[in-house]
Chains A and B, each alone.
Chain A
Amino acid sequence: MTMSRLVSLVILVAACAPKPVAVPIPKLPGDGDTNVAKPAPAPTKTVDDPWAGKTDLVAAPAFAPPAKLELPHIDELKLANGLDVMIVKDDRLPVVSVQLAVRAGRQLEPRARLGVSDATANMLVKGSKRHDASGLAKAIDFVGGTITADATFEATIVSCSVLARDLATCLDLVPDIVVQPTFPDAELKKVQDQMLGLVRQRVEDSGALANQHAQNLLWGNDHVRGWMDSELSVGALHRDDLIAWHRDWFVPNNSVLVIAGDVDAKKLKPQLERAFGDWKTKPLPPAPKYHEPGLSGIRIRLVDRPGATQTHIRIGQLGIRHDDPRYFDALVWNYALGGSGLGSRLSKALHASNLKAFGASTSFDHNFERGSFVVQALARSSDALASTKVLLAEVAKMQKDGPTQDEIDAAIANIAGGYGLRFEASSDLGAQLLGASLHGFSNEYVTKFPQMVQAVTLASAKQSAADVLDPHDYVLVLVGDAKDLEPQLQKEGWRYEKVAFTDPITPEVKQPEGPVDPKVAAATHKLLEEALAAKGGKKLNAMKAFHWHAAGTTSTGPQAVPVEVDRTFVLPDKMRIDATLDMQGKKAQVIVAVDGKVGWQQQPDQTGAPQLGDLGPEELPGIDFERWREPELILVKALDPSAKIMPAADETIDGKPQAVVRLPAPVPGLDVVIYIDRKTKMVSRLGFSDGRTNQADDFSDYHEVSGIQIAFKRKSTGGGRTTELTLSKFEVDPKLDTTTFAKPAKPQ
């Protein structure tokens, strides 16, 4: 309640804050957790053709096989701690790039910690033991370099580029952020806000939504490829999750380092031993394994976006592994089918059909494990199914007949011809070697790639298309207005499932609600009793009312606004909260008071004048919940005989072990999670989620007041807001004015 009132006032600040600039993802042959191919622009349909019949048009040159790619000298070594290193001597320019890949990407994330690889990568450059975020930025700015960290499906990649003379800066910063990051909470909040922004953006972006639904429908809810980040999953990430992720996977024996540029390998080796010497090898946890879903028949999902005039179409099938012998053949027929923009079969077929559809393309996930093969297009909704049929017919035709020799030649000219262009910069070269290494390929793979493409024959391409494509088993996702799409689906007699565009793509993880082991239940009950005794026991049970005053700050963006809060509670159901925000010298006051089932509120209007009003019945559930979860009394609630407490696995907060107990609220669908410090028995955190936002209230700096332990420092995080308060006064059973909870005649 309090916070939602504050939000309405300060939301303006957040709405105007500048958005963070996205960090470019380094290129890696192994990337591809989503289908990132962008639709080509709509072709201009020419009614007149001034070139028809002309014989003097410029002709494309004949294919000239590319020269063999020569790699510069590469030193390969293993440091004492097991870190594999490649040093590439490339002195074309006085620059150097240091790229470190840790095999820790989305594919290893636990279902309950989705987004942890991304959050961890983003946080690496936000503070280490030796540099805070600003210090890191200043250090790299000083030499005019760049340092970035990004997570992909398979790995986290840290990349640092500087002039060769400044190599020491990268050798200082890269080990520092990889080995001893600090994951400061304040920075994590910003990173989470960025991630939440992306999740919200996806809901607005039908194309991105279609990609994710296609992956989910194809791989299901029991496979990591089927799981999509949500506001809940991002909001649920805590600093401890990042620490655990980093501790488990960020080890030298799970990483590869490539240094490419104008360097001297001999001098570099001892420098690397020193730079990475503190990074200790240790055994890795087992990687999660998933069963590939069987694909049998056609599954269709209609994602309803009312008002959309266009429909995003995705057809998904299983792809192939990077080390599949048919990989190069697949590159070639994929180019002909949908990998060559307006020249591809799909684009031409749609163009010829006169349907309003464009942007057709096809793509593979280039992962070590088998990923997806996805066909995509955008169509006017009235043409959506007809366009889908055109796409399916082309897939079936390619499966049956394969590509033509002309198509194979064109694909080879493009793929093999353009390959050399990927090696212009030292960092490009480093990235290619790193990608090959992550997939277990030798450096020869990198040099022989064009020859492997050129070796594709008509027969091998045909065989590959016949084997890999499947005209009968696939998933189809349509994101558009159901009002336009359902009649078309029904006319065809195609069975489909229908979801709203706002629905979560992956079902949220639910805690098991089965019977609790009686022994565990008894232990939990005992723990709660100990916590209650530590809090104040009988004194707490005897308390009839309390009041506290606190001061601190609340923030949604870079600017923190000073705030003062008074909270008065009279058991069982009278509550009043006064909050005063200091907006650059102007005070804005918000009051919420409730007595039983009635209440009132006061808040400033647009001009800043205070407005008084009654709380409506729709506000009552929120108020009930706020009263019920009162932190001073939550242990009493948990020990009520009617409470259905559910023990959960222990967690840590700031390295301190915590017992975790889930307590269902009387409001349906809401649980409060209580974290109790194993050592002090004090409540360290109360968490809850209302399905949209997660809030965590942290408590520390406990002192005794009238025999009751009170947290004098409190921090609330949730919904993009952080509020930090320090109590200056806590009164047990204070003398209260009789009018405290009564609605005043005019604003106060």
Chain B
Amino acid sequence: MARSLTALALVAALGSASFAGPGPVSKLPSIETFQLDNGLRVAVLKTDASPAVTVGVWYHVGSKDEPRDRRGTARMFEQLMFKGSSHVRADWHAQAIAGLGGYTDAQADEDATHFSDTLPASYVDFAIQLEAERMRNLMFRKAAVDNERELVKDKIRKQEASPVAKGLLKFLAVAYAKHPYAWTAAGNPTELDATSIDDLHKFYDAYYQPNNALLVVVGNVSLDQVKASANKWFAPIARAADPPRPAAAAPEPAQTAKKREVVEPGQLGITLVGWHVPAAKDKDIYPLQIASNVLGRGEAARIKVRLKTPDPKTKRALALDGGLESFVKEDPGVMIAVGLYIEKDAADPVEAAILDEVQKLGARGPTTDELRKAKNELESGFVFSLEHVQGLADALGRSWIQSGDPSSFVRDVDELEKVTAADVERVVKQYMAPDKTTIVVIPPKGL
């Protein structure tokens, strides 16, 4: 079934679903890795299940690396990297890949910016050449920068038209007092206007370097082929200084008291209730993923059922919709529950209902069925993401960003399978306690 509006809006708002799903698949071939002298890491997964190959480059740079007054910088590169380099005309990269029957992709989020080319496997060398070319030879032409800046601003405007997305941005700003997850990769129009070509160039020179990237190749290609191409095109690039890590200098302090803000009313009433969760590589993430699923994913999820089931007497539901999503990131992320409603006096009951459902899960844990459903959903979501070489390549890249190991994702399903009801109970009590809650209420203008 289609995912709920809430879930979609939340995912869209953060720029990417950074959930680096669980699991090993028994038939998954082994992942080979090596490193060039200039620091470039390479991960190769050979599969003959597809005639295609995905060549991806994951740069370890996202919005959390942006200067605080230049939000949106990371996202500019989603576009700019297609706008020409010393030996490739503007737009030619994407056109050339399309001409061979393939397609390109690019995405910036809070932790990473990644690019990929998916095309018939026989052209793997060409795709690696194109990626090496734009790693260091990008051109910063004023006309192109101005044009891309307007496109990014337009995307921001469209996003801000969504009340849920807007509410989510507000939530993050309240939840994070220090860490740059206080903003997303979406960007800020005023700061984008203030971002000069020089600012962009500095950012590019700091982060778009071989020692800050992973080349990932998945498809019907051999390790030798990839080694030869990587050496040919990437090895000549010099290693650079280690990039600055502003987020490391701004760790989020532990939350010790409930935060609650009521902001300006909107057309739709939105209550966001959230909690900080540990970083992706922490083992507690597995039971938290299960808790997130039990509370907020699918028709039978507790928060959804509680908010949407009409009262038998009044025939009224508490809210129009609700759910919960978790944003597991390289640094400690968040889990956010959402309730959407129209009536002014629904805000308090919705908030109380969400907190009550969390408290109940912490007190008694999930049922056997809920635990099974959550594991099933997480596992199948993961397996289906592997059907395409691009999905596999993304799993390797995301794994590297979050854990430093491109193959760590293959252990996720086993880890999830081990989670018990008691584990879920424990992490809900530990991480989702009342004094660790952040609440943002956008009251409805109402009737």
Evaluate contact between B100 and A558: CB separation under 8 angstroms: no
A141 an interface residue at 8 Å Cβ cutoff? Answer: yes
**How far is B5's CA from A494's CA once the two chains are assembled, in angstroms?**
48
Q: Mark B380-396, 1 if CB is under 8 A from A, else 0.
A: 11011011110000000
A562 near B315 with CB under 8 A, answer: yes
- B379 near A584: Cβ-Cβ < 8 Å: no
Q: How far is the CB of A50 from chain B (nearest CB, A)?
A: 7
Cα–Cα, bound, A58→B133 (Å): 9
Are A584 and B316 in contact (CB-based, < 8 A)?
yes
Is B346's CB within 8 Å of the partner chain A? yes
Given contacts A15-B267, A125-B1, contact A421 B101 (CB under 8 A): yes
Complex contacts, B447 vs chain A, CB 8 Å: 12-13, 583, 586, 588, 608
Residue ID in chain B nearest A450 by CB atoms: B101
Q: Are A56 and B87 in contact, CB atoms less than 8 angstroms apart?
A: yes
B91 at the interface (CB under 8 A from A): yes
How far, in angstroms, from A611 to B95 measured CA to CA in the complex?
64
Residue count of chain B within 8 Å CB distance of chain A: 79
Stretch in A196-204, A339-347, A661-669, A712-720 with 4+ CB within 8 Å of B: A339-347
Residue of A44, A425, A561 with most chain B CB atoms under a 10 A cut-off: A44
| Interface status of A271 (Cβ within 8 A of chain B) | no
State in angstroms the CA–CA spacing of A142 and B379 once bound together. Answer: 11
Hey, what's the 0/1 contact readout for A577-591 against B, CB within 8 Å counting as 1? 000000111101000
Contact of A44 among B3, B52, B90, B133 (CB under 8 A): B90
Interface centre among A20, A23, A417 (most CB of B within 10 A): A417
Please state if B120 and A424 are interface contacts (CB–CB under 8 Å).
no
- By a CB distance below 8 angstroms, the chain B residues around A58 are 87-88, 92, 96, 129-130, 133
Question: Which residues of B lie under 8 Å from residue A56 when comparing CB positions?
Answer: 87
- Given A58-B88, A417-B101, A44-B384 contact (CB < 8 Å): no
For residue A476, CB closer than 8 A to chain B, the reply is no
In the complex, A21→B1 CA distance in Å?
Answer: 10
Known: A16-B342, A54-B87, A584-B343. A421 touches B26 (CB 8 A): no
A48-B141, A421-B118 known; A144+B8 contact, CB < 8 A: no
CB pair A95–B384 under 8 Å, yes or no, is yes
Question: Which residues between 57 and 108 of chain A lie within 8 Å of chain B, taking CB atoms?
Answer: 57-58, 60-61, 64, 66-67, 69, 91-95
B265 within 8 A of A: no
| A119: chain B residues within 8 A (beta carbon) | none
Once the chains are docked, how many angstroms separate the CA of A48 from the CA of B342? 54
Q: Mark B159-179, 1 if CB is under 8 A from A, else 0.
A: 000000000000000000000
A16 x B444 contact (CB < 8 A): yes
In Å, the complex CA distance between A420 and B120 comes to: 8
Indicate the member of B91, B300, B384 with the most A CB atoms within 10 Å.
B384
A419 touching B101, Cβ below 8 Å = yes
CB of A424 within 8 A of CB of B388, answer: yes
Instruction: State the CA gap A584–B100 with chains docked (Å).
Output: 60
A20 to chain B, nearest CB (A): 8
What residues on A are CB-neighbors of B92 within 8 Å? 58
B421 neighbours in A (Cβ, 8 Å) = none
A134 lies within 8 A of chain B by Cβ: yes
Determine, out of A320-328, A408-416, A640-648, A729-737, the stretch whose residues face the partner at the interface: A408-416
With A94-B25, A94-B383 given, is the CB distance from A425 to B267 under 8 Å? no
A423 interfacial contact with B, CB 8 Å: yes
List residues of chain B with CB within 8 A of the CB of A560.
310, 315-316
* Chain B residue contacts of A144, Cβ below 8 A: 373, 376-381
Q: Is B139 an interface residue, CB under 8 A from the partner?
A: yes
The residue from A48, A50, A342, A410 contacting B91, defined by CB atoms under 8 A apart: A342
Rounded to whole angstroms, the CA-CA distance of A560 and B316 in the bound complex is 6
Q: Is the CB of A64 within 8 A of B120?
A: yes
Contact with B along A406-446 (1 / 0, CB 8 A): 00001001111111110111110000000000000000000
Q: Does B308 contact A (CB under 8 A)?
A: yes
For A113-145 the 0/1 string (1 means CB < 8 A from B) is 000000000000100000000101110111111
**Chain B proximity of A173: nearest CB distance (Å):** 11
Q: Contact: B99 with A141, CB < 8 Å?
A: no
A51 & B381 in contact (Cβ 8 Å cutoff): no
How many chain-A residues does the 8 Å CB contact rule pick out?
Answer: 83
Instruction: Flag whether B147 is at the interface (Cβ < 8 A).
Output: yes
B122 at the A interface (CB under 8 A) = yes
Task: Contact check, A559 vs B99: say whether CB atoms are below 8 A apart.
Answer: no
Q: Which of A12, A21, A420 contacts B2 (CB 8 A)?
A: A21
Q: With an 8 A cutoff between CB atoms, is A252 at the interface?
A: no
How many Å from the CB of A537 to the closest CB on chain B? 38
- B100 with A413: CB separation less than 8 A: yes
Q: Are A413 and B99 in contact (CB under 8 A)?
A: yes
State whether A414 touches B84 (Cβ < 8 A). no
B50: CB under 8 A from chain A? yes
> Which residues of B are found within 8 Å of A46, using beta-carbon distances?
90, 143
Whether A21 touches B5, Cβ cut-off 8 Å, given contacts A60-B96, A424-B389, A584-B343, is: yes
Name which residue of chain A comes closest to B305, CB basis: A134
Asked, given contacts A18-B321, A67-B51, A420-B52, whether A162 binds B380 with beta carbons under 8 Å apart, the answer is yes
- Contact A57–B383 (Cβ < 8 Å): no
Among residues 93 to 130 in chain B, which have CB atoms less than 8 Å away from a CB atom of chain A?
95-96, 98-102, 118-120, 122-123, 125-126, 129-130
**A584 lies within 8 A of B345 (CB):** yes
Query: With an 8 A cutoff between CB atoms, is A19 at the interface?
Result: yes
B232 at the interface (CB under 8 A from A): no
How distant is the Cα of A15 from the Cα of B447 in the complex, in angstroms? 12
User: Is A147 part of the binding interface, using a Cβ–Cβ cutoff of 8 Å?
Assistant: yes
Q: Which residues of chain B from 174 to 232 have any CB-CB distance to chain A below 8 Å in the complex?
A: none
B1-25 Cβ-contact flags toward A at 8 Å (1 or 0): 1111100100000000000000001
Q: B299–A138 contact, CB under 8 A? A: yes
Question: Provided the pairs A44-B144, A93-B386 are in contact, do residues A60 and B99 lie with their beta carbons within 8 angstroms?
Answer: yes
Q: Are A94 and B27 in contact (CB-based, < 8 A)?
A: yes
| Distance from B219 Cβ to chain A, minimum over Cβ atoms (Å) | 10
* Given A93-B27, A418-B120, A424-B388, A17 contacting B320 (CB threshold 8 A): yes
* Residue B340 at the chain A interface, CB threshold 8 Å: yes
Q: A562–B101 contact, CB under 8 A?
A: no
Decide yes or no whether B317 CB sits under 8 A from chain A: yes
Set of chain B residues within 8 Å of A44, measured between Cβ atoms: 83, 90-91, 143-144, 147
Give the residues from 259 to 289 in chain B that come closer than 8 angstroms, CB to CB, to chain A: 267-268
Complex Cα gap A148–B130 (Å): 39
The docked-state distance in angstroms from the alpha carbon of A551 to that of B7 is 37
Point out the residues of chain B lying under 8 angstroms from A145, CB to CB.
Answer: 380
Whether, in the assembled complex, B298 has its beta carbon less than 8 Å from a beta carbon of chain A, the answer is yes
Instruction: Give the distance to chain B from A108, nearest Cβ to Cβ, in Å.
Output: 27
Q: In the assembled complex, which residues on chain A have CB atoms less than 8 Å from the CB atom of B130?
A: 58
Q: Report how far A468 CA is from B24 CA in the complex, Å.
A: 52
**Assembly CA distance A588 to B316 (angstroms):** 17
Contact A95 B383 (CB under 8 A): yes
Q: Which residue from chain A places its CB closest to the CB of B130 in the assembled complex?
A: A58
What are 21 A-B interface contacts by the 8 Å CB criterion? Answer: A17-B320, A18-B320, A46-B143, A50-B141, A51-B84, A58-B96, A58-B129, A61-B126, A93-B27, A93-B49, A93-B386, A94-B25, A340-B99, A413-B101, A414-B101, A417-B119, A417-B120, A559-B320, A560-B315, A560-B316, A583-B447
Given contacts A50-B141, A58-B130, A148-B1, 12 further A-B contacts (CB under 8 A): A48-B141, A50-B139, A57-B89, A141-B300, A163-B376, A341-B98, A418-B119, A418-B120, A424-B49, A424-B52, A559-B316, A559-B317
**Which residues of A are interface residues toward B (Cβ below 8 A)?**
12-13, 15-23, 43-44, 46-48, 50-51, 54, 56-58, 60-61, 64, 66-67, 69, 91-95, 125, 134, 136-138, 140-148, 161-163, 166, 340-343, 410, 413-421, 423-427, 553, 557-562, 583-586, 588, 608
Q: Can you list the 4 inter-chain pairs with the closest CB atoms, starting with the nearest?
A: A418-B101, A144-B380, A417-B101, A420-B51
Interface residues of B (CB under 8 A from A): 1-5, 8, 25-27, 49-52, 83-84, 87-92, 95-96, 98-102, 118-120, 122-123, 125-126, 129-130, 133, 139, 141, 143-144, 147, 267-268, 297-300, 308, 310, 314-317, 320-321, 340, 342-343, 345-346, 369, 372-373, 376-381, 383-384, 386-389, 444, 447
